[in-house]
Structure 1
Amino acid sequence: MVTGKLLRVPAAVVILAAAVLIGWRVLAPAEVLEPATGALPVAVTLPPGVTGKTTMAPLIVAGSVRVYAGKRLVKADGPVEAKTMYTARWSFRRWPEQLTGIVAVAATVVTRWSDGALVALDGRTGEQVWRSAGPAAEPFTGRTGSAAVWAPPGLHTAGTSVLVTDGRQLIARAATDGTQRWAVTLPPGCGDGFVTAGGRYVCSSGAWDVLSGTVVRGWPTGPFTAVGCDVARSDCAGLRDGAGQGWLTGARRPERAPALDAPAATAGGDLVLSASADAVVASRADGEVWRWAGAAQVLGVRAGRAVLLTPDRRLIVLDAATGAQRAVFPLYVPDERVEPWQPDGWQLTDGYLAVQRLEPDGSFYTTDPVVIAAL
């Protein structure tokens, strides 16, 4: 009996050791980078129309790949015009950290993680470009990753720089190699701001030059509402100040634009676009430039195009200079059920539009809620 008990003790030790080893392998901190092996998808110019839909929200990078955010990974597929999500070209996983957000400068994709790490990857290949440590950041939220790729907390772009905010700290790093260009301490209550097309980082307390980090004097009084922004609340064409007055922000100094006072108005380049129940009007300081008859929401202005979304979910593409109609098509995939939906975030690039769609009750529109269209 004693011998049997002694034999069982070593067996139990072996089982326990094996369990510990398995647990360590599963739970130990780890990173897995799987770079691309195939050729880069070729960017193509397509006629205007819907190209496909995806389960996750993409960040369209360099006009050729789509980058997605998951809770603990970032991955990419392509081409942009693919009808659905494809097998990942490359992926980068971190455990147990969570992805906070992603921004892209040209082909460089900068990822921020819950432990504060900034990891820059080549968006075409997935290979690591640079890495920098930083303070802890917010965890991943949402199912599709739309917040992480289109409105990442504490991440902005400004020319060739990536701006990172943490509390009252604002840091500018070169997107090419991660070199810190400058850092400033923001005033109390500043909050996470936005970057103007004219090269200013703006929060409720004021404005800072994105090239040097120096304070910009003579700015309107906040808090501010940014309008006409690209993803990551960057390249914003205008704002409304604390008194509700509108300003164009494409130049180094803001330019007063009374037409932008209206809550339904937005900006694109040097234009103010005002939407009403029966028209969208584009104007400058010297008056009306063009008028499009009908009700529509302005999604943005990019590459000389003004992009509108009608209540019946048709996409209208106009020449931004003249208002001439370039294209019109329903924002549904062929053979998809045609029912009302609401836009819930989008990315407008030089050649494509990606929109996340919600049902009227706030649930996702189909299991593939993001529709992508060529412009």
Structure 2
Amino acid sequence: MTLPRALAALLVLAAAGLIGWRVLAPAEVIEEAVEPYPVAVTLPAGVTGKTTMAPLIVDGRIRVYAGTRLVKADAPVEAKTMYTPLWSYRRWPARLAGVVAVGTTVVSRWSDGRLVALDGRTGKVVWRADGPPADGFAGRTGSAAVWAPAGMHVAGTSVLVSDGKQVTARAVEDGRERWSTTLPPGCTDGFVTAGGRYVCGAGAWDVISGNEVRGWPAGPSTAMSCDVARSACAGLRDASGQVWLTGGRRPVPAPGSAVAGDLALTVSGGAVIASRAGREVWRWAGTAQVLGVRAGKVVLLAGNQLVVLDAATGAARATFPLFVANERVEAWQPDGWQLTDGYVAIQRVRPGTSEFYTTDPVVIAAL
């Protein structure tokens, strides 16, 4: 081979190597917001739209979505469909495991263990930290990643991350480690109570100090009436089946199949019955599923109708079908949801299946 040909071959190899490195090397792509942060609005109760992906509603103003290798946000929350992203953040080759939010800060966890916090108003990176590796999420809509991320929880101004062996609390403002503790065997995933306890397996830990809490109800426990990321859980059912209110520092026994603050809600005999300290305070006639209680409102799903009741009196505030205009009206069942002070987002599937109700399976409604 002549010298010019040899040099040409070397140049081709070098160029191919450079292209391969640029394509395959670890990388992140940040597209920050150029549009202003949306203004929060108060809307009359009713359906506002539907989306192809499951949104994490943040600060009552933006919707955050999970992709295989990206986190993105659009706005406003009441948009009829998905809009061009307000901002987005991509990583390669790591896969997204889960997303949580505290205030306007969005924290993402990745398969390589990296934690990346983003300012939900701008999409700018606030901090990065290392943690235990995690599995990437599965599913087309990303509902598991934004509504029930494995090993991710929030408590006050802390983000809790666990791999089933260790749980670590980090400050949401800068990512610094606040505490870390070793978990007993069997703690594959836990939950955080509204009263500030991390509960996993047969134990409980204080979310501020990380110290173990003695005298906790015998586990393993089932979380009840939780916010997204299995956080702010208002109650639990212990290993014996006893229900406890967990809004305070110490659990309080209570009857009921759902709980909210100091209310125990029981669905029985064709009615939803609310009791406080063991005494009935109101009842709503009808068969329904309790989605939760927020901002003084009890939110029920009765068939495919959303029912909003006053938490103090049981008086009806709103009732409406969960369908958008010009959408087919057929039976569906919920497959996960997020309830905020002002909105509810519900992923819909066909009864008895895992098949999505439509290509835009998530319906969003103002409360």
Q: TM-score normalized by structure 1?
A: 0.95
Counterpart of 1:256 in structure 2 is: 253
**Counterparts of 1:212-227 in structure 2 under 5 Å?**
212-227=209-224
Equivalent residue letter for 1:168: K
Out of 19, 22, 25, the position equivalent to 1:25 is 22
Structure 1: segments with no counterpart, 5+ residues: none
Counterpart of 1:189 in structure 2 is: 186
Q: Kindly tell me the number of residue pairs found equivalent between the two proteins.
A: 366
Equivalent residue letter for 1:246: V
Counterpart of 1:271 in structure 2 is: 263
Counterpart of 2:34 in structure 1 is: 37
Deviation at residue 20 of structure 1 after TM alignment: 2.7
Deviation at residue 17 of structure 1 after TM alignment: 3.5
- The answer to whether the aligner puts 1:337 opposite 2:298 as a matched pair is no
Distance in 2, matches of 1:354 and 1:330, equals: 14
Distance 1:35 1:277, change over 3 A: farther
Counterpart of 1:305 in structure 2 is: 297
Distance in 2, matches of 1:166 and 1:56, equals: 26
SS at match of 1:316: strand
- The answer to whether the aligner puts 1:51 opposite 2:42 as a matched pair is no
Equivalent residue letter for 1:273: L
Counterpart of 1:289 in structure 2 is: 281
Q: What is the CA deviation profile of residues 236-256 of structure 1, one whole-angstrom value per residue up to 9, with x for unaligned ones?
A: 001110011111111111101
Out of 290, 315, 326, the position equivalent to 2:317 is 326
Distance in 1, matches of 2:326 and 2:159, equals: 41
Q: What is the CA deviation profile of residues 40-69 of structure 1, one whole-angstrom value per residue up to 9, with x for unaligned ones?
A: 111100000000001110111111000000
Alpha carbons 2:164, 2:186 under 8 Å: kept: no
SS at match of 1:111: strand
Out of 231, 236, 257, the position equivalent to 1:234 is 231
SS at match of 1:366: coil
Q: Percent identical across equivalent pairs? A: 72
Counterpart of 1:355 in structure 2 is: 346
Distance in 2, matches of 1:212 and 1:301, equals: 28
Deviation at residue 133 of structure 1 after TM alignment: 1.1
Distance in 1, matches of 2:78 and 2:196, equals: 32
Counterpart of 1:158 in structure 2 is: 155
Distance in 2, matches of 1:205 and 1:281, equals: 30
Distance in 2, matches of 1:8 and 1:365, equals: 61
Root-mean-square deviation (CA, aligned residues, Å) is 1.4
Distance in 2, matches of 1:100 and 1:211, equals: 25
Out of 108, 113, 118, the position equivalent to 1:116 is 113
Counterpart of 2:204 in structure 1 is: 207
Equivalent residue letter for 1:58: P
Distance in 2, matches of 1:147 and 1:120, equals: 19
Deviation at residue 287 of structure 1 after TM alignment: 1.1
Distance in 2, matches of 1:324 and 1:134, equals: 47
Distance in 2, matches of 1:22 and 1:191, equals: 41
SS at match of 1:25: helix
Alpha carbons 2:163, 2:188 under 8 Å: kept: no
Deviation at residue 167 of structure 1 after TM alignment: 2.6
Deviation at residue 15 of structure 1 after TM alignment: 3.9
Distance in 2, matches of 1:188 and 1:41, equals: 45
Deviation at residue 186 of structure 1 after TM alignment: 1.3
Distance in 1, matches of 2:5 and 2:288, equals: 76
SS at match of 2:307: strand
Distance in 2, matches of 1:253 and 1:277, equals: 31
Out of 339, 364, 371, the position equivalent to 2:356 is 364
Deviation at residue 8 of structure 1 after TM alignment: 6.1
Distance in 2, matches of 1:281 and 1:142, equals: 36
Equivalent residue letter for 1:347: Q
Equivalent residue letter for 2:258: T
Distance in 2, matches of 1:103 and 1:342, equals: 25
Deviation at residue 25 of structure 1 after TM alignment: 1.7
- The answer to whether the aligner puts 1:346 opposite 2:337 as a matched pair is yes
- The answer to whether the aligner puts 1:82 opposite 2:82 as a matched pair is no
SS at match of 2:16: helix
Distance in 2, matches of 1:329 and 1:55, equals: 22
Out of 88, 91, 94, the position equivalent to 2:91 is 94
Distance in 1, matches of 2:174 and 2:10, equals: 49
Q: What is the CA deviation profile of residues 270-289 of structure 1, one whole-angstrom value per residue up to 9, with x for unaligned ones?
A: 11111135111111223111
- The answer to whether the aligner puts 1:316 opposite 2:307 as a matched pair is yes
Distance in 2, matches of 1:114 and 1:162, equals: 17
Equivalent residue letter for 2:339: L
Counterpart of 1:63 in structure 2 is: 60
Structure 2: segments with no counterpart, 5+ residues: none
